[in-house]
Amino acid sequence: MTRAGCVDIAVTTNGELTYDDIGGHLRPAGTGPVEIDLTGLRFIDPAGLVSLAVVAERATLLRRPVRFRRPEGGDVANYLTRMRLGEQLAALDVGHDLPRVQERRLGHRLVELRRFDGEAGLDTVAAALVQTYVDDHPELVQPLYAALDEMARNVLEHSTRSHGYVALQRYDARGDISFAVGDSGIGLRERLVRAVPVPDDRTAIVRAAQVHVTSIGRPGRGRGISRVIGITGEHHGSVTLVSGAASGTFRRGSPEPELSDLPASYPGTLAHVRLSL
């Protein structure tokens, strides 16, 4: 099915589950239930939300039971419910004890975790996210849509999965918009090794961002990730790719990522994109 197996995810250190430290909370799953332990969670970003769905989906694909522990902090648990994490877990037949909360308008700060199925589903989700969160920043409509579209289409074209997960959030205090796209598919290394030499997961991240490098042998392909890196460079942002046992961040349009190793292989591929308002 895929090169990597299941992983546990446990927030036990700084209480934050974000794009720049997601790997620190992963560990190889044992032979019992896959653990999603959020008892210590205090803050989560779009990459963290998407990763929870990806970890749960990989477990269900491999027919592994999942044991979910909600955050001890009530506000954080309520936030996860409003972000529709519970709905996505239920769709995967994963039991959870997230609280019920009263629906209310959340304004221009966040959008719930969503699954997109196929190109039609992607178009609907991307249009809704962009129009909802940058209506007072029209200059960002096109670059945000282009970045989200490119990253999500990579999921549909390369992951061997027909769908993926996406979440987006706007942070007014620090002046940026972030989104994450993830899938529980084969990962960057396995998808690229069919076309180019890829000895390890670090190399896969570097090669995936290079123009004209693609696992699809069609003219015009292989520009998606490099194009998004260029967009973030124009908007003082970054792109982070997580796949296999490696993570790489491309800052301000640089084609050279800052690479790091993970203690356990990510069960698919995660892309996090940040643009400054």
* Whether 272 contacts 256, CB under 8 Å: no
Q: What is the pTM of this model?
A: 0.91
Contacts of 271 (CB under 8 A, 6+ apart): 151, 154, 180, 181, 182, 225, 228, 239, 240, 241, 242
Rounded distance between C-alpha atoms, residue 51 and residue 210, angstroms = 25
Pairing, β 7-10 against β 34-37: parallel
Helix axes of 141-158 and 224-234: crossing angle, nearest 10 degrees: 160
Residue 194 gets the label, from left (phi > 0), alpha (psi -120 to 50) or beta, of alpha
Q: What is the 3-state secondary structure (H, E, C) of the chain?
A: CCCCCCEEEECCCCCEECCCCHHHHEEECCCCCEEEECCCCCEECHHHHHHHHHHHHHHHHCCCCEEEECCCCHHHHHHHHHCCHHHHHHHCCCCCCCCCCCCCCCCCCEEEEEEEEHHHHHHHHHHHHHHHHCCCCHHHHHHHHHHHHHHHHHHHHHCCCCEEEEEEEEECCCCEEEEEEEECCCCHHHHHCCCCCCCCHHHHHHHHCCCCCCCCCCCCCCCHHHHHHHHHHHCCCEEEEEEEEEEEEEECCCCCCEEEEEEEEEEEEEEEEEEEC
Residue 93 one-letter amino acid: D
Residue 15: predicted pLDDT? 93
Residue 211: predicted pLDDT? 62
Q: Which two tokens stand for residue 271?
A: 């892309």
Lay out the sheet containing 26-28: strands in order across.
26-28, 7-10, 34-37, 66-69
Nearest to 169 by CA among 49, 36, 70: 49
Helix axes of 118-133 and 141-158: crossing angle, nearest 10 degrees: 160
Q: What pLDDT tens digit does each residue of the chain (277 aa) get?
A: 344 689 999 997 789 999 999 989 999 998 999 999 999 999 999 999 999 999 999 999 999 999 999 999 889 999 999 899 999 999 999 999 999 887 655 444 457 899 998 877 788 888 877 777 677 788 888 898 899 999 998 888 878 888 999 999 888 888 889 999 999 999 999 989 888 889 999 999 999 998 655 544 443 443 589 999 999 999 999 999 999 999 999 999 999 999 999 999 999 999 999 998 7
Residue 138: predicted pLDDT? 83
